[in-house]
Amino acid sequence: MTEKTIAVVTGGASGIGAACCRELARRGARIVILDRDLALAESVAAELGGHAVQGDVGDEEGLRRVAARIEAEIGPVGILVNSAGVLQPPLRPTELPMAVWDHVIHIDQRGTYLACVVFGAAMLTRRAGSIVNIASITGSRSVPLHAYAPAKAAVIAITRGLAAEWGPAQVRVNCVSPGYTRTPALQAAIDKGERDITNLVGSAALGRLVEPEEVARVVAFLASPDASAMTGIDVPVDCGWLAGTSWHSYGGFRDPGNGSDA
């Protein structure tokens, strides 16, 4: 990517989104942070010499206005990273309020699709562009997140569908599925004793959390010309969590030894 490449990152003011902003800026992109928290977005944008705009992927008309403003005042968007999302508590289905379920689906699934369509329309006109959606490993496994996991599974499906739909126009659409990532929010929960890190990393082959920068590097690769032949792909960045979850049925991970008996 070049310094003229404009990259919009939704939810770019914190966590994985902010890491993506920093990595894309390091690679030369002009960053536009689209976030509901304008003050925090402005702080990150000032650090990177980028732009901050207030926006909500849950607000269709508002998002369309923001996209038009970005295109008119900043320039043509070449990269879109959809990182905006909300979490949910791991409640039983009978205890999960439908209002919470609706909100998670509205932001994580509908919001991702909407941002793709709104920003993708201009990419289609230019016959160029790269979109990277942030999904989750929970979209590929059974977990007690009965709104969040289905929404992230939908993001993976949306990615594949749009990749095929827009491929003839040379607009690429991929997604990244992070594992348990050491965002400020997760680290705060660990520090407060609300999350047990042993449970979080127990099924990861590498035995640790993912760092936000590790997710961001994969996102930046997929967004770049280096991945020019890749579209419709879901890339897990999970320290081997997907590979390792089933090993508990066989007693867990084994000591790999030192190779001396090879």
pLDDT given at position 3? 58
Q: Would you tell me how many other CB atoms lie within 10 Å of the CB of residue 31?
A: 25
pLDDT given at position 77? 98
Mean predicted confidence (pLDDT) in 210-228: 98
Residue 148 among the catalytic residues: yes
How far is Cα 61 from Cα 114, in angstroms, rounded to an integer? 10
Q: Where are the domains of the chain?
A: 6-250
pLDDT given at position 261? 60
Burial of 233 (0-12, 13-18, 19+ CB in 10 A): middle
pLDDT given at position 262? 59
Residue 121 pLDDT greater than 60, yes or no: yes
Among residues 113, 148, 180, 250, the one annotated as catalytic is: 148
How far is Cα 239 from Cα 179, in angstroms, rounded to an integer? 7
Express as a percent the part of the chain with pLDDT over 90.
Answer: 92
Q: Would you tell me how many other CB atoms lie within 10 Å of the CB of residue 123?
A: 24
- The beta strands (E) that lie in the chain are given as 6-10, 30-35, 51-54, 77-82, 129-134, 171-178, 234-237
Give the chain's mean pLDDT: 96
pLDDT given at position 62? 98
- Tell me the pLDDT tens digit for each residue of 69-100: 999 999 999 999 999 999 999 999 999 999 99
Residue 2 pLDDT greater than 90, yes or no: no
Q: Per CATH, the architecture of 6-250 is what?
A: 3-Layer(aba) Sandwich (3.40)
Burial of 66 (0-12, 13-18, 19+ CB in 10 A): buried
Confidence of residue 16 (pLDDT cuts 50, 70, 90): very high
How far is Cα 66 from Cα 49, in angstroms, rounded to an integer? 19
Residue 54 pLDDT greater than 80, yes or no: yes
Residue 215 pLDDT greater than 60, yes or no: yes
